[in-house]
A = this chain, B = another copy of it.
């Protein structure tokens, strides 16, 4: 019996041929592969049977969630794709314990909606949340726009169920906030991009849904003032800051060219613009007055006024309505569109220590000017996390590799990371090879060998 027939015997919902095409192609269209077959198991036991068989026969397996990754981590040439899409049940929401028990195939947006019905939220959101699945967010340790306040996926997960390469089920389905019974296998699995096991279910933390927001665009005299502004805001609001996004002059210039319909409230002509938002679930902050304004908005206005007096803020525009708030968000969310609007393009998803961002931007600009006097950049940063999307347009496509290398040299020298939130997949393998601590790479390979000795799980990804 050939492998397809044997797989079909344990997992009947199997696709081959033309039906696999959509699975073989990532959504940015950069990685197009021909999978051997696509399996869509409905239970953990079925996943276990598939993996046992693939391990026995040496058949490569690529786990897949919503297929919204940016690094080619689900490219599957000649491999079996194991799609978790049918394991999409929210098993339980326990509002008193502030947790959700979900299967890996649950779509992020569906969890948002289910949580909202209890006045709660799962505080992870990003552009692809309408199709991204929880298993994928766990496999990549996804970030998104709430990291500043709530952390990465790792900070939001209490427990996991994982099927190992040989089909054994690893039960880490803890709903506990403290558990010191042995090594942290959960966090090892999170972010391992399907190379150590297949996540089938998880216990996730929920938080109270915010009842009010206060949103502003401000200009600041410099990046060091920006960091002091963030710290002062955190201190004076008790940690309510949910967004603190940095848009320098090059971003605003590109916005003016590519999206002239979006008008920044303080104009385009500033070196350093910050978009910020605070949010609260506290009733005393959230009860609107007769003008429809909430105390939270007054609090932000007063705080920014005080920080203006202290020289940390040059100018500020507060959103006076939901429409103005949406317009400010749109200016930030245009990033993907405007930063790739001019080609050739080198996309860097970098992280720097919070107090090194300014120095990094100076050094990178100097080094790139030396390499390519005609370069331009479009920079936008989750400044509160030190995460910089540093997009470069060289004057000549032949310079792309040299540009990436120059930028990553500086990042490495300053203790930064070449992959902040997107992961490694295939796209960042060269950076892993060149930049990662060699001892760390050796130990990651040893861990891989311990969990997947035959190398059937997502082969060729994550580790060079």
Interface, chain A (partner B; CB < 8 A)? 94, 96-99, 140-141, 143, 147, 151-152, 154-155, 164, 168-185, 187-188, 190-192, 196, 208, 224, 227-228, 231, 234-240, 280-285, 299, 351-356, 382, 384-387, 415-424, 428, 431-432, 435-437, 439-444, 446-447, 449-451, 462-463
Contact B432 A182 (CB under 8 A): yes
Contact B280 A164 (CB under 8 A): no
Complex: how many Å from CA A415 to CA B176? 8
The minimal Cβ–Cβ distance linking A125 to chain B, given in whole angstroms, is 16
The minimal Cβ–Cβ distance linking A385 to chain B, given in whole angstroms, is 4
Given contacts A176-B417, A185-B440, A236-B283, 17 further A-B contacts (CB under 8 A): A96-B355, A97-B353, A97-B356, A147-B178, A172-B437, A172-B440, A173-B415, A179-B351, A180-B417, A181-B428, A182-B441, A182-B444, A183-B462, A184-B187, A188-B447, A208-B235, A443-B450
The minimal Cβ–Cβ distance linking A290 to chain B, given in whole angstroms, is 22
Contact A355 B94 (CB under 8 A): yes
Q: Which of B182, B239, B386, B440 contacts A170 (CB 8 A)?
A: B440
A231 contacts which chain B residues (CB < 8 A)? 96, 98, 208
This chain's copy number in the assembly: 2
Contact B355 A178 (CB under 8 A): no
Contact A439 B164 (CB under 8 A): yes
Complex: how many Å from CA A169 to CA B234? 36
A283 contacts which chain B residues (CB < 8 A)? 236
Contact A178 B447 (CB under 8 A): no
A235 contacts which chain B residues (CB < 8 A)? 208, 281-282
The minimal Cβ–Cβ distance linking A225 to chain B, given in whole angstroms, is 11
A192 contacts which chain B residues (CB < 8 A)? 183
A97 contacts which chain B residues (CB < 8 A)? 227, 353-356
A141 contacts which chain B residues (CB < 8 A)? 180, 184
Contact B178 A420 (CB under 8 A): yes
Closest residue of B by beta carbon distance from A210: B238
Complex: how many Å from CA A384 to CA B178? 11
A172 contacts which chain B residues (CB < 8 A)? 437, 440
Closest residue of B by beta carbon distance from A140: B180
Interface centre among A182, A421, A431, A440 (most CB of B within 10 A): A182
Q: Which 5 A-B pairs have the closest CB atoms?
A: A97-B355, A187-B187, A446-B450, A175-B353, A178-B420
A416 contacts which chain B residues (CB < 8 A)? 176
Q: Which of B183, B239, B386, B440 contacts A182 (CB 8 A)?
A: B440
Q: Which of B180, B387, B439, B449 contacts A423 (CB 8 A)?
A: B180
**A-B CB contact pairs (8 Å), 15 listed:** A94-B355, A172-B440, A175-B353, A177-B351, A177-B384, A179-B419, A179-B420, A180-B421, A180-B424, A181-B418, A183-B462, A187-B187, A238-B238, A446-B450, A450-B450
Q: Which of B227, B281, B435, B462 contacts A238 (CB 8 A)?
A: B281
Contact B152 A178 (CB under 8 A): yes
Q: Which of B180, B239, B387, B432 contacts A239 (CB 8 A)?
A: B239
Complex: how many Å from CA A208 to CA B240? 13
Contact B147 A182 (CB under 8 A): no
Complex: how many Å from CA A418 to CA B420? 35
The minimal Cβ–Cβ distance linking A341 to chain B, given in whole angstroms, is 25
A152 contacts which chain B residues (CB < 8 A)? 178
Contact A176 B353 (CB under 8 A): yes
Q: Which of B99, B151, B168 contacts A439 (CB 8 A)?
A: B168
A439 contacts which chain B residues (CB < 8 A)? 164, 168-171
Q: Taking A98-B354, A191-B184, A299-B284 as contacts, is the C-beta distance between A177 and B444 under 8 angstroms? A: no
The minimal Cβ–Cβ distance linking A212 to chain B, given in whole angstroms, is 11
A179 contacts which chain B residues (CB < 8 A)? 351, 417, 419-420
